Amino acid sequence: MLYDNRIFLVEDDLKINFEGRSINFIIPIYKNINRYFIPMLEFISQIGGKIDIKGSKINVMFKERSIICIDYCINDYKFTIIHSVLYISLFDMCRILSIRSIWGYSRGMISLYWDKRNYKSCRSVCGRAALIRFEDITAGGEYLDSDNLEKLRVVADYMYLAGIPFHIAWIPRFVDPQNGIDNDISKDYSMANANFLFTMEYLLNKNGIIGLHGYTHQYGNEVSAVGTEFNDERNNDEKSIRKRVEAAINTAKKLELPVKFFETPHYAATAFQQSIFEQYFDIIYEPFVGIWGDRIVKSPRNHRTLYIPTPLDYLEEKDGIDEMINRINNLGEDALASLFYHPYIDFEYITLKMSISRYLMSIYSESSPLHQIVKALYHKNCNFIKITDLSLNSKTYEFKKLFYSFLNSHKYSKLR
């Protein structure tokens, strides 16, 4: 598709090389906030390929590689035309050609090279439903470090190869008031932010599903991913709730990141706050307030929104793996096999190293907590699915009289 957002020249000295050789662009690189766009024909030519364009169809040819055919009227790649030159987003160019990247912030360098790995997903099609969510993904802290973002992409590769769709609880705006940090990647350009957005697109391409985990996941002087954004004392009026939810949604729209669910930080929302959330989302990835059970609940308010609990809870740190495995092994037959996980826990089990030929290699230990969790769930005959594939047949818990008894006892007149 043609990308019609505002495009700007890259003002900093961004350098790109391929297989160790500098790409000396004659035509400049552009950006839209934190998404880079490169001249497609020039890039393909400099790495030894040719392009044949007929109408909306683009054929990319290399001597030792099969012809790649793209129809930019059908495919969801981001193209744009600037001064009669065809541009494509850096991520989409990497996706089309199976290219990996190394981001060097200090040198202002993005190193590209052919991806030599074979990506064939082996997704299973039977067994009880299981879901996993990667928690607190945000452009701050460890998730702006270049090596850590590469490790997050390695985790996504593992999930894809294991046939596991995964969910990404994304905090759109990272705030750390005491250190003067307020980072919104839809507004604030940096190479690190560009790498974060590139990584988010990478996760989507590996069967990731993005949801909004609040807007800032903090309040007052608290730090994002630590603080509590919604509860009975914070953002508890309708105007404040809508303002933050809509800000999160608009950030995702500006970045063209599709979001499929909402999750309240720390599951701290009140029934009233949830009643507002479900006016925007068909899926709330948390328990319904008042019913802290282990099954899916359909909202009796709009008879549409599904509340998806996480009965398996989460792994606080790697030392808690035995407790998690025990919860998996003792999960009731009617309970939903659903959990959330902080992927940074696995980073110490991933080793990145450069080969003699300057090819980045990764070694991902099978002893990592995430590997152990996946194995335990597969041993439990679980089939990982997308949250968007869940339905009322997936162990749904209906309220009936119990819900209305709950309303009456708590006098939530606003919900009626």
Is residue 2 classed as helix, strand or coil in its secondary structure?
Answer: strand
**Residues forming a β-bridge with 111:** 17, 102
Contact 141, 225 (CB under 8 A): yes
Among 181, 213, 184, which Cα is nearest to 281's?
213
Contact 283, 387 (CB under 8 A): yes
Which token pair is 152?
Answer: 């997050």
Cα(309)–Cα(295) distance, rounded to whole angstroms? 7
Cα(265)–Cα(137) distance, rounded to whole angstroms? 12
Cα(138)–Cα(174) distance, rounded to whole angstroms? 6
Which token pair is 300?
Answer: 């009796």
List the pLDDT tens digit at each of the 416 positions of the chain: 556 667 878 867 899 999 989 999 999 999 999 999 999 999 999 999 999 888 778 899 987 777 788 877 767 899 998 989 999 999 999 999 999 999 999 999 999 999 887 766 665 556 789 999 999 999 999 999 999 999 999 999 999 999 999 999 999 999 999 999 999 999 999 999 999 999 999 999 999 999 999 999 999 999 999 999 999 999 999 999 999 999 999 999 999 999 999 999 999 999 999 999 999 999 999 999 988 778 899 999 999 999 999 999 999 888 899 999 999 999 988 889 999 999 999 999 999 988 766 677 899 999 999 999 999 999 999 999 999 998 755 544 333 333 333 333 333 333 32
Contact 159, 166 (CB under 8 A): yes
CA dihedral (352, 354, 360, 364) positive or negative: negative
Beta-strand ranges (E) seen in 223-308 are 259-262, 283-284, 296-298, 306-307
Cα(374)–Cα(310) distance, rounded to whole angstroms? 15
Cα(342)–Cα(135) distance, rounded to whole angstroms? 5
Contact 407, 300 (CB under 8 A): no
Cα(304)–Cα(244) distance, rounded to whole angstroms? 22
Q: Kind of pairing, strands 396-397 and 296-298?
A: parallel
Q: What is the DSSP letter of 305?
A: P
For 176-189, what is each residue's pLDDT tens digit? Answer: 999 999 999 999 99
CA distance readout (Å), 320 to 314, 317, 324: 9, 6, 6
Among 104, 53, 8, which Cα is nearest to 358's?
104
Which token pair is 365?
Answer: 């230990």
Cα(137)–Cα(135) distance, rounded to whole angstroms? 6
Beta-strand ranges (E) seen in 115-234 are 128-138, 166-171, 173-176, 181-184, 208-212
CA dihedral (222, 226, 231, 237) positive or negative: positive
CA angle 150, 114, 141 (to 5 degrees): 10
Cα(140)–Cα(176) distance, rounded to whole angstroms? 9
Cα(3)–Cα(311) distance, rounded to whole angstroms? 42
**Residues forming a β-bridge with 383:** 129
Ordered by where they begin, the domains of the chain are 8-114 (no CATH), 128-415 (3.20.20.370)
Q: In what order do the strands lie in the sheet with 65-71?
A: 50-54, 57-62, 65-71
For 4-34, what is each residue's pLDDT tens digit? Answer: 667 878 867 899 999 989 999 999 999 999 9
For 254-263, what is each residue's pLDDT tens digit? Answer: 999 999 999 9
